Amino acid sequence: MLITGLIIGCLLIGLVIGYVVRQHQHRQELLAVQKQARDIIASATAETQQKIAKLTADSRRETLTYQQSVKDELAEQTSDIAVREQRRQQREQLLGQMGVRLADQTAMLDERSQANRDQRQKIRDLKAQALQLRTDRDETLAQQAGIDEQAAKDHVLADTELDLKRDRDVEIKALNDNAVANAERWAKDVVLSATESGPQDLPKEHLEHTVTVPNGEIRSKIIGRDGQHIRLLETLTGTDLIFVPDDNTTLFISTHDPIRREVARVALTNLVASRRISSNQIETQVENAQRDVNHSLWETGEQTVSGLHVGWMHPDLMKLIGRLKYRTSYGQNVLLHSIEVAQLTGAMAARLGYNTRLARRAGLLHDLGKAIDHEVEGTHVEIGTEFAQKYGEDDVVINAIAAHHGDVEKTSPLAELVAAA
């Protein structure tokens, strides 16, 4: 019994010791799990705070960038409005001055016309008197000198020839005075027509800065995980893409290069339409957009050259003309302005009897340098002159480009017409 009691006691002691050890192990495991949980929570909290800080910084950066872009756009529009108003006032002032000059010229022409009529009447009266005097003189000479009839006729013919020469000189002078007066009036009409038909203030076409995103799902796809997709788009297009604050459906394209902006706009529009947005799709759509925009540049240039009938032109020049479609200057679309100058220069050249095709060509190319003046060093006049020389344009066209702002001397009448237009 004693042995049995000892065995049972040992078993009980072992169970107690095992229970105590097990409880200790369980407590240690629980403490370890609690510590691990605290570490996970602390790590998650730190990571979340970092992400919040990053998102806040990114949002602040995008907001500041967008605000600056809006300020720049507003400043440009304000400047454009001021320039247009100044041009309008100058145009009204010029029209007023020309109206006064035309009125004065009309009154002067009326006075000259009346004076010419009076002068012609005096000439007719004097001719009648001279004819009568000459007849009386011839009869007297014939009677007194006893000259024969033929000699008298010869004498009369000589006097008649002299009188005709005098009459012809008078008529030529009158015609010349009339031509000068008409030329002055016609010149004023041409200038007035040029002023009234000059480049108009047009809306900024082909310069879209935004793309509309239909819903939040597409917006999330464009941004991508951790912003991967939108950063890839920015890298491939060379632009900054910013969702407008308080408007999650408008994506703003920020860049000073109009061609890059158009490539980004086309690529984003196609991505939104397809709704399939991945890294591969982004690369494919950007490549397609670059190809389409480059083709449209050449196509626009070809259509413009063909429509103005200016003759064959180097393809690279036509592509530069196409780039003008995406440029503005003083609130005007540069391509439309160039077309208007070409048409106006051609019309004035036709009235003056100059080469109309060469005149239109010079007018079309006069602002060629503005196509790439943000990429190449130099003024748009210098750049345009250089490219015109490079591609073998006529010297008259080159001088018209170089001289249309008065940087060099105008060496042809067409250069004067381009500057006036």
- Residue 63 in domain: no
| 99, 112: one domain | yes
Quick one: 334 exposed, middle or buried, by C-beta within 10 A (0-12, 13-18, 19+)? buried
| 168, 239: one domain | no
- Residue 132 in domain: yes
| 102, 168: one domain | yes
In this prediction, residue 153 has a pLDDT band, given cuts at 50, 70 and 90, of: low
- Residue 57 in domain: no
Distance CA(415)–CA(421), nearest Å, equals 10
Given 263, 285, 301, which residue is the final one in a domain?
Answer: 301
| 268, 363: one domain | no
| 310, 408: one domain | yes
Could you report the per-residue pLDDT of 327-378, keeping only the tens digit for each? 877 767 888 888 988 988 888 888 878 899 999 998 899 888 888 877 777 8
Q: What is the CATH number of the domain that holds 321?
A: 1.10.3210.10
Supply the range of the domain harboring residue 229.
Answer: 210-301
* Unique residue bearing structure tokens 């100059």: 354
- Residue 225 in domain: yes
Could you report the per-residue pLDDT of 86-137, keeping only the tens digit for each? 767 766 775 666 667 667 766 776 777 777 777 777 777 777 776 776 666 6
Given 301, 331, 351, which residue is the final one in a domain?
Answer: 301
